[in-house]
Structure 1
Amino acid sequence: MIQEFKTFIARGNVIDLAVGIIIGAAFTGIVNSLVVDLINPILGLMTGGIDFTDKYVVLSGNVADGASLAAARDSGAAIFAYGAFAMAVLNFLIVAWAVFLLVKGVNRLQRAAMRKEEAKETPPAGPTQEELLAQIRDLLADRASPA
């Protein structure tokens, strides 16, 4: 069983997956910072600082008027927190857009690198069959003609 585990862990796919998870976790910090520190403040300026996070409706129970979402949750009342959900969806869309742009940029760089590599590997095109036949014809014609 231990040998099977060693074989499983030593597979390239498992190692690649582990590296992907680690890089993904680090990348999450970058994307979250992009959203929280750069994009959200710009959206706040554009919307006049509107924040829907604390918006909710009390379905049942007693909650003081104007209480925060955290206080409403702590009171044990059944609440419909539509603002937190709307902000989560908005943050998801922003993160998805940022990831899309990043992946698009990386793919563009990879395609450019592949084209450059292919250009190096592709040998220069030689003469076509017709060009070779024309050269042979001209050489034969030069031999046949008296000088």
Structure 2
Amino acid sequence: MLKEFKNFIMTGNVIEFAVAVIMAGAVGLVVNGFVNDIVMPLVGHFAGGVDFADMKTVLSPAVIGADGVETSPENAVRYGAWINTIVNLIIVGFVMFILVKAYNKMKKPAVETAAAPAGPSQEELLAEIRDLLKK
């Protein structure tokens, strides 16, 4: 069983998959950085100086004790972070679209097969039917 597992792990597909997962994680970090550090500040600037990451609806505020220590954390719906995530998804989807489109362009074009010979036209078929009916 150990030998079978070793053979399975050492196949090219598993290694390629592992590399793809690691690369996806790295690309995800790059895209998150791009969205959070470049795109969202620009969107916030053009939206009137709004920082989407800070947008939230507080359900219950944080409780701070007499000694200044927070005894109960704030409970809030952070819809601004969700907006950032949606923008991130749109950017990732667009980048993947561009990559797939470029990949498809780079692939060798399929060999065009000879066009099928054109069949008889509708008028020719009707004439044949007419001639057969006359007989």
Per the normalisation by structure 2, the TM-score is 0.66
How does 1:45-84 map onto structure 2 within 5 Å?
45-51=45-51, 53=54, 55=56, 57=58, 59=60, 62-63=63-64, 75-82=70-77
Give the number of equivalent residue pairs: 116
Unaligned runs of at least 5 residues, structure 1: 65-70, 131-147
* SS of alignment partner, residue 32 of structure 1: helix
Higher helix share: 1
Q: 1:76 to 1:53 in 2, by over 3 A?
A: farther
The separation in 2 between residues aligned to 1:34 and 1:2, in whole angstroms, is: 43
- CA distance in 2: counterparts of 1:111 and 1:15, whole angstroms: 24
**Could you give the per-residue CA deviations for residues 61-118 of structure 1, whole angstroms, max 9, x where no partner exists?**
6349xxxxxx9xx713253222xx212211211110011111111121123233x421
The normalised TM-score by structure 1 is 0.61
In structure 2, the CA distance between the partners of 1:126 and 1:18, relative to structure 1 (3 Å rule), is: closer
Contact 1:60 1:79 in 2 (8 A): yes
Post-superposition CA distance 1:104-137 (Å, at most 9, x none): 11121123233x421xx336x489599xxxxxxx
> In the alignment, what sits opposite 1:11?
11
Q: Which has the higher strand share?
A: 2
Q: Distance in 2 between matches of 1:91 and 1:8?
A: 40
Q: Given the superposition, is the C-alpha separation of residues 61 and 34 from structure 1 closer, same or farther in structure 2, using an over 3 Å criterion?
A: closer
Identity of aligned residues (%): 27
CA contact (8 A) 1:58 1:78 kept: no
Are positions 1:117 and 2:118 aligned together? no
Query: Is the Cα–Cα contact under 8 Å of residues 59 and 77 in structure 1 kept in the other structure?
Result: no
Match of 1:44 in 2: 44
